[in-house]
Amino acid sequence: NWTMENFIEDKVKEIKEKVKPDERVLLGLSGGVDSSVTAALLSKAIGKRLTCVFVNHGLLRKNEVKEVIDTFKNFDLDFKYVDASNDFYKALAGVTEPEEKRKIIGKLFVETFRKEADKLGKIDYLAQGTIYPDVVESGLGGNSAKIKSHHNVGGLPKDIGFKGLVEPLRYLFKDEVRRTGLSLGLPESLVFRQPFPGPGLGIRIIGEVTAEKVKIVQDADYILREEIKNAGYDKQISQYYAALTNMKTVGVQGDGRSYDYAVVIRAVKTIDFMTAKPFDLPYSILTRIADRIVDEVDHVSRVFFDYTSKPPATIEME
């Protein structure tokens, strides 16, 4: 019979069988729920033969680097931080097509892990926090059509030098991942953190990604998160964020004309992240968020709210 405890026990056993006593694993840790639960599970199975590498791809939220480092300082894990922002910005320059962006980010992640593995010496496996919806939406879950390439799905490029992948959560849905995390003793603040996609703000900036646009979307998103939290909605909304459109419009600023970007805010309610409904936020909160974003964030003169369900829209905006 299937229970969380059985699942953990089975996975630990499976990992121990796959990863031989003299072998080591490198895990791409983002600080999100999926990779953190993967870290806890692997650490239970193989202890210090696991090294967790946190790559900053320059597409993280405001303050996120510090928050993730601070969280994992408290765990008994071999944890390494790598700032690869400039490599990612360089690779993404001039690229506008969403699938192409995802592929570039995914490829660069693996290359960064490879480089770190070389510095660490012998690493046999690469571990990732892939979960079932990632597999389904990448068109690998049976009859499903390909919607988009999750950065972590589709296997390893050949000749990258790892013996294989370890993905213990590959058949779990998000709510099961959370239950696993709680059973493994991870803090609630981490387990109930809202999801943040692996390609990060790279898929919340429509069109070309630049360091300047990242800063705009980080600042707008920070305001949104602050207001949602202050209003007490953070636990009720499954996922909420600001995205940057590729659209500029005319506005007025002081006595002059402005020609600046439009930000979109999205807030959805969902159980399994396969379907979602827009969250009914009060008008007063939406207008407060919009006022603050245009006041406080340079180069933004309009804020829209996305009322679309999934399907037909996705939760992310790319």
CB nearer to ligand XMP: pick between 62 and 151? 151
CB nearer to ligand XMP: pick between 67 and 316? 316
Least distance in angstroms from the C-beta of 254 to ligand XMP: 38
32 marked among binding-site residues: yes
Least distance in angstroms from the C-beta of 59 to ligand XMP: 11
Binding of ligand XMP at residue 195 (CB under 6 A)? yes
35 marked among binding-site residues: yes
Sign of CA dihedral 279, 237, 62, 297: positive
CB nearer to ligand XMP: pick between 1 and 143? 143
Least distance in angstroms from the C-beta of 178 to ligand XMP: 12
Binding of ligand XMP at residue 308 (CB under 6 A)? no
Range 238-267, binding ligand XMP (CB under 6 A) = 239
Least distance in angstroms from the C-beta of 149 to ligand XMP: 7
Given 273, 281, 301, 303, the residue binding ligand XMP (CB under 6 A): 273
Amino acid identity, residue 216?
I
Give CA separation, 65 vs 31, 145, 221, in Å. Answer: 9, 35, 15
34 marked among binding-site residues: yes
- The pairing of strands 239-253 and 256-269 is antiparallel
* Rounded (10°) CA dihedral 261, 267, 273, 276: -110
CA distance 258 to 237: 33
CB nearer to ligand XMP: pick between 270 and 301? 270
Binding of ligand XMP at residue 88 (CB under 6 A)? no
- List, as residue ranges, the binding site for ATP: 30-36
Residues at the site binding ligand XMP, with contacts judged by CB under 6 A: 134, 137, 150-151, 195, 197-199, 239, 273, 310, 314-316
